[in-house]
Amino acid sequence: MPTVPVTVLFFGPAREAVGGDRDALVQVPAPAGGVPTNLAHLRDALGARWPKLAVLLPRCMLVIGEDYSRSMGDASLGEGQGPISVIPPVSGG
């Protein structure tokens, strides 16, 4: 099965959920039928690899480079793009 390699950066509680690693190379399975690999597929791959992160992911924002995208399905992933950041919710004042 073809995959798309994606570099993922983890911050705060997301970093703790993956065992303290700051970054990882994740192989995201490419969907069948020529459908572009997107953030929803990445989210699924991250949750499958790190079950503790799966609990946190629904509240996290995935950021491609510096492009904050709230929609999981519309941002396509491909080789050579900037890293994806997993940013958990932040509180404070």
> pLDDT of 61-81, one tens digit each?
888 887 775 555 567 887 667
Q: Which residues pair with 23 in a beta bridge?
A: 9
**Which band of pLDDT confidence, cut at 50, 70 and 90, is reported for residue 36?**
confident
For 3-87, CATH number out of 3.20.20.150, 3.40.50.1820, 3.10.20.30, 3.40.30.10 equals: 3.10.20.30
* The residue count for the chain: 93
The residue among 62, 79, 74, 87 whose CA lies nearest residue 25 is 79
d(CA 32, CA 2): 9
pLDDT at 70: 52
Helices (H), the chain: 12-17, 39-49, 51-56
Domain ranges of the chain: 3-87
